[in-house]
Structure formats: C-alpha cells, structure tokens
Amino acid sequence: MRPITRTVSAAIVGFAVGAGAVSGGMAAYTHFGPSHALALKSSNQPPFATVASYTPPTLPLGPDTISNVVKRDGDAVVKIVASVPQSTSISSSPYFNPFFGSLFGNSLPSGPSQQVQTDIGSGFFINSQGDLVTNDHVIHNANKIQVYVPGYSKPFTATRVGTDYQADLAVLKISAPKALPYLVLGNSNTTPVGAWAIAIGNPYDLSHTVTVGVISAKGRPLTIGSRNYRNLLQTSAAINPGNSGGPLLNLAGQVVGINTAVSTQGQGIGFAIPTSTVEHVLPQLMKYGHVSQPWVGVFISTDSAAMAKQYGLPTGTGVVIAYVEPGSPAAAAGLSAGEVVTQFNGQSVTTASGLKTLVDKASVGQKISLTVNDQGKTVTKTVTVGQEPNRAITPPSTGLSF
C-alpha cells in the first residue's frame, strides 16, 4: 500500500462500502412507498443528464431547501446488494484489518472452501431507462447484483454496463416496468469550498439515510490499496460503510460527487469522486464498457538528492523508474527499475507528474521514445503505449503510475 500524500494516512482510510448479513441482524431490508417519476425534459433524453442537457426546477432557498431536495430527488437513490464468492476465509480480507474495522456482514458457506460475502452500497439512476452509477468497489467480483428501488417490493437483478477499476466507477442497468426517477450531474469544478453538500445512501444498511455538511476541500489525492484517487472532494457530510456509490448533492439537487471513502479515525472526513471525473469516464463506460486509458506500466518518482545518494543516480535530472509491471509495454521495451527517464519524445522531463501528464495525452497504440540514464549511460527506448488493465496493478511503496 502506497502512502497517501498530504495529510491523510493510508492506515486510517477505509472504503465506505456497506455490509449486510445474509440473514438476521441488520439485514432487515427496508422497502419504501410509491416513488414519484421525474418529468423528462423531452423524449430525446441523453444517456445521462447533465446541467447542460437538463436542469431540474430551481428550489427556493430557505429552511426547507434540503428536505425539499430529498423529497424530490431521493427516490432516484438505490440500495445495491452484491454477492461476492470468496475462495478463502473472510478473516483474511484486508477489510477486516483493525485499522478499518469489520466493514462486511456475515458469510454463508457454499462449498468446502467457498464462502459468499454480501456487500451493501448505494447508487443512483442517471436516466429514466434504468442505467445507474455506483463505485466499482461496491460490485467488484460480484456474481449477483441486486438493486432495491424505492416503490418496488422486490429487488431487481442488475447487469454490468461498464466498470473502471482505477477510477472506481461502475455503470449498472436494470429493467423496470416504467420510467425511473434520475439525478442530474452538476459541475464540481464550479462548486466552491464551503458549499452545502447533501449525502444520501445506505450506511450500515440503514436505507435512505440523509446527512448534511459542506465541501471541506477539493483536489485531495488518496491511495487505498492499489486504487489511486488523484482528485477527490472532501466533505463533512457523514459518510459511512454503505454510502459508497451514493450521490453527494448540492442545494439544487444536482450531483457534484459520488461518495467513496471515509477516514475511520476522524469525524467529518469523507471523500467523493467529483463529477468532473465522472463526466469523463461515464460516456466511455456506457459505450465501450471500459475506459480507454494509455498505459506504459511503470511506477515513477521524481529524482532527488536523497534518492541520488541512495541509488547513485544523477541528482534532479529526471524521473526515476521505481517499478516495472511484468508483461507491460514498459517491460516489453526493456525498461528497468533504477533507470532515470530524462526525455519523452525528445522533450526534457524533470518531475514524475510532468512525465505522467505527457503519457496521459498519448494514444493507445502510439509509439513513444523514452530517453533514460542507466548508470551513467544514455539510452533511448521505444515503447508502444498499451491499454491500462481494468484490474489492480501491483504498486511499490512510492511513486506515481502510468
């Protein structure tokens, strides 16, 4: 696990995934009264609604604003129950680490060495046809996904439309007998720090729980296991296990973030994926089922005096390759840990973030040249940019990846 930059320690952050026992305890599922159908702007509804395509009627600001938002838009929020087969004992799961607490519910044996783990999260509809968004970690490796929709007594079985491991986003689909209420994606870029934020979800299987806070900070980087979040919203709205995948709303009822993680040793420290990220990923998930992301397969760090002294490298003249993923384009091109990248396509690079930005602008299949310093010898190697795998990539202790 790589350390979290800035002020958040990896040891204190856990996914806001939910948990429910398969039977008994807190797994008494709550169903709701009749849901209202939101009026569609036109019959030519976009794949998902944004402020540019459809804006809900403005609600008057006042003492009842938050309750009115919840009353109008709450039925678009659902509970997701994912069944994940486990081939090893649940006690070996990293999510039972004492730093995180027991985030998951009971398990039932399904064979000599098989168990079924039941995870509970949240999600919300993005159009009236039954497409909904949640976190990838809510449904990752699940062989059965059930969606509890307000107004329906029985859950719907969902199918996967698309998932992206690194962005931690997933699109699911259900088939309902009538049009479904949906939420509009707002603009997280123009949402200021200090703005009111409303979270709706299913913490600890307490269905349709509403919490309120503010946007505490923006652009928070976070690393949890092998997932790297580079640009999260921080919020003081209470987020707990089960809130994952649920919406973080503004006072207009627009989604500005998707609730994702929570600090288990702090109060009022929750994190959400901003809609600026969601709007980039969603169209690709809905069209292709995955995100086209250029990938070389290395972890890098900016060369520094300390690293130069430790490894006998040039000081401040490039980017150190800390790790090369086996079977990656980097491995095929002969790149090795300990080499210092000094140029990208003939352009000088001095920082890890700068090099990553250049690679992110490349296209899958494009050939790029990386000039490296290998123990004092300058070599240029050609790399064919690949497609980032939709899975965990083994990280070293430090560095960015691309």
Catalytic annotation, residues: 137, 168, 244
Cross-strand partners of 396: none
- Other beta carbons within 10 angstroms of residue 366's beta carbon come to 13
Sequence-distant (≥ 6) Cβ neighbours of residue 287 within 8 angstroms: none
The dihedral formed by the CA atoms of 41, 43, 49 and 53, expressed in degrees to the nearest 10 = -60
Q: Is-contact 204 21, C-beta < 8 A?
A: no
Half-sphere exposure of 259 (CA within 13 A, CB side): 39
- Locate 178 and state its tokens: 């009538």
The dihedral formed by the CA atoms of 22, 25, 27 and 30, expressed in degrees to the nearest 10 = 150
Q: Is-contact 103 95, C-beta < 8 A?
A: yes
- Other beta carbons within 10 angstroms of residue 329's beta carbon come to 22
- Locate 304 and state its tokens: 């520094």
d(CA 11, CA 97) in angstroms, rounded, equals 10
Smallest CA-to-CA distance from 337 within 298, 309, 308 is with 298
- Locate 23 and state its tokens: 């039977």
d(CA 32, CA 42) in angstroms, rounded, equals 28
